[in-house]
C-alpha cells in the first residue's frame, strides 16, 4: 500500500472527495492501460459515487469490484451492488464487463470461489480502494480479525451487521494489495472509533 488517506466527512464533503478520487484515477490511468478499484458498500459513499458518475473519465478502462456484499438478491434494496449500480455503474454507462460483483444466486461458498476467481483473472493488485467504516468499526464485512485474516482474497461471514444476513467480503489480504486507500468516515459515532 503506497498511501492511505482518511477523510472525516462533514457537510459539503462530496465535491472535495470526488475531486481527490478523480485526480487519483487520472494519475493512475497515465501509468496503466486499466485500473482496478474497490468500492465500499453502505450509505456514506453513495453521494460520492453519484457525483463520480458525472465525471469525464474513460470508464471502459476502469474495473470495479465490491469490497463486500450482503447475501441478499441483487435487486434487494439491501444489496450493495444494486445501490452502487443505481448511482454509479448505470449513470456513468460503465461497461458490464468492468463491473465485478458477488453472484448471490449461488450458494455462498460457490459465490466466494467465483468472485475470487474473477479477481485473480483480472489483476494481482488493486490500484485504488474506496472504503468506509460501519458504526461498530467494521471495514468491508470484516467484523472480527479471524474473518479478515483468512487465507485467500474472499471469504464469507455468518449473519452479522444490519441487516443480519451472511455476507461475502474481501479479506485484509485482498484489501492490502491496493496501492491507494481512501477511507470515507462520516458521523460522530464512527469518528469517535478512530480516537
Domain layout of the chain by residue ranges: 3-193
pTM, full prediction: 0.92
Q: Candidates 3.40.50.1360, 1.10.3720.10, 3.40.50.10860, 3.40.50.720; correct CATH number of 3-193?
A: 3.40.50.1360
Identify the pLDDT of residue 113: 96
Collapsed DSSP state (helix, strand, coil) of residue 138: coil
Residue 8 pairs in a beta bridge with: 185
Identify the pLDDT of residue 180: 96
Whether 137 and 183 have beta carbons less than 8 Å apart is answered as no
Q: Which of 70, 77, 73 is nearest to 160 (CA)?
A: 70
Q: Which helix (H) or strand (E) holds 140?
A: none
* Length reported for the chain: 195
Identify the pLDDT of residue 169: 95
Residue ranges of the chain whose pLDDT lies below 70 = 1-9, 148, 160-161, 194-195
Q: Which of 144, 131, 168 is nearest to 1 (CA)?
A: 131
Amino acid at each position: 500500500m503506497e498511501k492511505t488517506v482518511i477523510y472525516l466527512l462533514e457537510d459539503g464533503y462530496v465535491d472535495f472527495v470526488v475531486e481527490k478520487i478523480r485526480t487519483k484515477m487520472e494519475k493512475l490511468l497515465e501509468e496503466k492501460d486499466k485500473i482496478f478499484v474497490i468500492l465500499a458498500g453502505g450509505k456514506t459513499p453513495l453521494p460520492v459515487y453519484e457525483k463520480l458518475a458525472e465525471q469525464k473519465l474513460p470508464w471502459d478502462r476502469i474495473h470495479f469490484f465490491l469490497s463486500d456484499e450482503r447475501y441478499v438478491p441483487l435487486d434487494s434494496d439491501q444489496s450493495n451492488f444494486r445501490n452502487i449500480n443505481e448511482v454509479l455503474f448505470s449513470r456513468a454507462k460503465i461497461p458490464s464487463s468492468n463491473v465485478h460483483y458477488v453472484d448471490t444466486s449461488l450458494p455462498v461458498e460457490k459465490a466466494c470461489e467465483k468472485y475470487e476467481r474473477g479477481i485473480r483473472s483480472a489483476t494481482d493488485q488493486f490500484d485504488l480502494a474506496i472504503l468506509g467504516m460501519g458504526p461498530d468499526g467494521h471495514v468491508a464485512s470484516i467484523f472480527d480479525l479471524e474473518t479478515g485474516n483468512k487465507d485467500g482474497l474472499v471469504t464469507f461471514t455468518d449473519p452479522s451487521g444490519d441487516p443480519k444476513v451472511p455476507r461475502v467480503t474481501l479479506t485484509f489480504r485482498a484489501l492490502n494489495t491496493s496501492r491507494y486507500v481512501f477511507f470515507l468516515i462520516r458521523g460522530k459515532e464512527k469518528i469517535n472509533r478512530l480516537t
